[in-house]
Structure 1
Amino acid sequence: MSEAPSLDTICAAFDLPPHTVQAFDPAHPAFDAQRPLLVLAPQFEAARPEVRRRYPPSKIARVIRGGAAEDATVATFPFDAQAWLLPALAPEEDLRGLAGLRGVMERLFAPDGCPWDREQTHESLRRYLLEETYELIDAIDRGDPDGLREEIGDVLAHMFMQTALARQAGTFTLEDVLEYATAKFVRRHPHVFGAEEAGSMEALLDRWETIKRAERSAKGESDEAPPAGALDSIPLAAPALQRAQSLIGRAGTGGLAPATVGAAEAARAALESSDVGALLFAAVRLARERDIDAEEALRAAAERFASAFRTLEIASRAAGSEPAARESAEHAAVWAAVAGDAQ
């Protein structure tokens, strides 16, 4: 390998202004693939895995070999060269960097971007975000790592959509979001990012609440009587069952005395009066009294029902008939499956 040329020589060979150079540093291998990247010969071994991870194999780059610049693909970079120069990737090519996804979303929402995306608002995207969130939860419940990867990507894309809209409106930027989130988690974990000891789990939770009170105070909110009520931070858009659970729990910690009528008795009264809403709320109370997650319990019961009905469908197809034509006992078994092990 020939002696490494000077930076000025490299820039001249590549016809590259020196101030635009982004040099690969093995000690800090992260780089912006949407800027040209210069890799000198001593760093070839360290840079090659990251370069191949970030750039398409067929991407045409430039190398200096024998003092002259020539083209080469990322897949065939010569190790006997003196330097590699990777071109800046367009956002749609930067598939493995957050900057790529950000650039794609900003391009879609730009005045000359996608007509459908340009018509979207924070509100219009709400239902799609909700759908993607449920699909993410479904992938978690299925224990499906490939599905989980995809659904996390879809939810992440929505975060970039929302910040792209906010940036256009001048309300906040992605950097504002990152600053808030990073500062919040650093601030609330002084036992990790500061000098405090973690202590017991109870001590950790107490410290968490103390920090939250300090944050409210910094915003001018009173610890004793915050402007928002104890229940106001529970999202109205949350699923009704989940919201009911949170309301009951938060009201209890907020000072509400336990109900004088037990959950089971309240459920019977609601059933007698055909008050379905009160019946469902009583069921949530009953779950909480027995330390059961009502959302998970209902999801499990619903899946037992779905599984039993699928079994009925399969049996029907095998017999060349429709589910409606099956024996009444088979239909009863579908409904009975909801009870699970409790029946």
Structure 2
Amino acid sequence: SFLEPVLTHLRLDPLDRGLQVFDAMEIGAQHHPPLDPDRPVLVAQLYGRQLASDVKLTLLNLYPAEHPLTLIQGAGTLGEKGWSVPLFELDRDSNLNDLTTLYVPPLSRPSGMAALQEVVARLRAPDGCPWDREQTHATLRRYLLEETYEVLAAIDADDRDKLCEELGDLLLQVLLHSQIAVESGEFSSADVAAGLIAKLIRRHPHVFGDLDVADASEVLQNWEQLKAKERGEKDKIKGQFDGVPVALPALLRAQEVQDRAARLGVDGSSQVELDRRIGEALRQASATTDPERREDAIGEALFALVRLTRMLNVEAESALRQATARYVAEFPADP
């Protein structure tokens, strides 16, 4: 076996941190490596530059470009040699052959999902954090919403460092809910992942199957048809909005309802018609003295305005959020 001489060359104990061993062809065929970045990896039979390029592109989905690697060639033979390269240079060596093995060391700090789940489980353990231990699905609702809006704020600010941080905070909420579910025997994070994987594959037959689609619009229409079929409500319009959360902010929910209606092919209003409806609703709101009729008219105007933003390829929620931010920024300190 090539393992013993390679491990001897690296002075590596395979049991120390849980060695992972893969064939280069298997890694190169993936889009994301099936690896735990907190554990060492050996990639065997890295026999050429094209394969090394495929492996490099896969590893770059998990490791930084500068991550130090070690190549071992001819381990256990008289011609044994080893040399180091950063990940981004992996495919620049023309001397790779069937006896070349790649060593990928762990990242410098805990970074894998398993490590993160261990931290969350430790927080919820009997000797963990009192605050984390007393949380439930219900008590975490506000934090899930807050972290979601923090992510949106980072996106609006075009702050990539902040976005990375806030996505971590949002991921924490997902893992906390999963850990709570494990403890109560409801489901596990593996169940969450398995359900999502199956759903994504099932609803993307144009990627994982043999369905042909013309463009993104056709993808969305097919997505809605598949969802309807899964619900056992194929070809029915009634109930198609059941999956749109009632708890969404009103503007966001209006846009989601209209997006879904458009994907179902039942939203054929023209821009001229929408302009007319908005103007008419605003005139009715101004003319009436009845509070309920005024509220209805304003609601109709807002709903039609959301439909107009869809037609103009503008996200209503984002547009309003940015307009509010501009107003706050321009508001005088001493009005």
Q: Does TM, scored on the shorter chain, surpass 0.5? A: yes
CA offsets per residue over residues 202-243 of structure 1, 9 Å max, x none? 543443333223322xxxx332558x8233222122112222
Instruction: Supply the AA of the counterpart residue of 1:236.
Output: V
Question: Using a 3 Å threshold, how does the CA distance of structure 1 residues 202 and 133 change in structure 2: closer, same or farther?
Answer: closer
Could you say which residue in structure 1 is the equivalent of 2:88? Answer: none
Question: Using a 3 Å threshold, how does the CA distance of structure 1 residues 96 and 106 change in structure 2: closer, same or farther?
Answer: same
Instruction: Supply the AA of the counterpart residue of 1:222.
Output: E
Could you say which residue in structure 2 is the equivalent of 1:301? Answer: 323
How far off is 1:16 after superposition? 7.9
Q: RCO (CA 8 Å, sep 6+): is it higher in 1 or 2?
A: 2
Matching of residues 1-343 of structure 1 within 5 Å: 6=4, 22-25=19-22, 27=24, 28=27, 31-32=35-36, 37=40, 95-216=110-231, 221-224=232-235, 229-247=239-257, 262-271=277-286, 272=288, 273-275=290-292, 277-291=295-309, 293-309=315-331, 312-313=332-333, 323-324=334-335
8 Å CA contact 1:24, 1:31 repeated in 2: no
Question: Using a 3 Å threshold, how does the CA distance of structure 1 residues 127 and 254 change in structure 2: closer, same or farther?
Answer: farther
- Please give the secondary structure, in 1, of the residue aligned with 2:309: coil
Could you say which residue in structure 1 is the equivalent of 2:92? Answer: none
- Please give the secondary structure, in 2, of the residue aligned with 1:291: helix
- Please give the secondary structure, in 2, of the residue aligned with 1:104: helix
Instruction: Supply the AA of the counterpart residue of 2:234.
Output: D
Question: Using a 3 Å threshold, how does the CA distance of structure 1 residues 213 and 189 change in structure 2: closer, same or farther?
Answer: same
CA distance in 2, matches of 1:182, 1:30: 14
Question: Using a 3 Å threshold, how does the CA distance of structure 1 residues 233 and 208 change in structure 2: closer, same or farther?
Answer: closer
Question: Using a 3 Å threshold, how does the CA distance of structure 1 residues 23 and 240 change in structure 2: closer, same or farther?
Answer: closer
How far off is 1:268 after superposition? 3.5
CA offsets per residue over residues 122-155 of structure 1, 9 Å max, x none? 1111111111100101111111111111111111
- Please give the secondary structure, in 2, of the residue aligned with 1:306: helix
Question: Using a 3 Å threshold, how does the CA distance of structure 1 residues 250 and 278 change in structure 2: closer, same or farther?
Answer: farther
CA offsets per residue over residues 148-177 of structure 1, 9 Å max, x none? 111111111111111111111111111111
Q: Which runs of 5+ in 2 are unaligned?
A: 28-32, 47-51, 53-58, 69-102
CA offsets per residue over residues 51-87 of structure 1, 9 Å max, x none? x97xxx9xxxxxxxxxxxxxxxxxxxxxxxxxx9x89
CA distance in 2, matches of 1:245, 1:5: 57
CA distance in 1, matches of 2:211, 2:257: 33
Q: CA RMSD, aligned part only?
A: 4.5
8 Å CA contact 2:255, 2:306 repeated in 1: yes
CA distance in 2, matches of 1:144, 1:156: 18
Could you say which residue in structure 1 is the equivalent of 2:90? Answer: none
Instruction: Supply the AA of the counterpart residue of 1:212.
Output: K
8 Å CA contact 2:37, 2:111 repeated in 1: no
CA distance in 1, matches of 2:195, 2:296: 40
User: Mean alpha-carbon deviation: is it higher for 240-249 or for 257-266?
Assistant: 257-266
How far off is 1:188 after superposition? 1.5
- Please give the secondary structure, in 2, of the residue aligned with 1:185: helix
CA offsets per residue over residues 245-300 of structure 1, 9 Å max, x none? 44466578697998999343333333433447435423322313533544234223
CA distance in 2, matches of 1:191, 1:251: 22
TM-score by length of 1: 0.61
8 Å CA contact 2:228, 2:235 repeated in 1: no
CA distance in 2, matches of 1:164, 1:129: 15
CA offsets per residue over residues 10-51 of structure 1, 9 Å max, x none? 7xx999879x9634447247544666x5869999xx9xx99x
How many residues are paired up? 266
CA distance in 2, matches of 1:107, 1:158: 15
Question: Using a 3 Å threshold, how does the CA distance of structure 1 residues 194 and 127 change in structure 2: closer, same or farther?
Answer: same
Question: Using a 3 Å threshold, how does the CA distance of structure 1 residues 135 and 14 change in structure 2: closer, same or farther?
Answer: closer
How far off is 1:201 after superposition? 4.2
Instruction: Supply the AA of the counterpart residue of 2:321.
Output: R
Question: Using a 3 Å threshold, how does the CA distance of structure 1 residues 201 and 250 change in structure 2: closer, same or farther?
Answer: closer
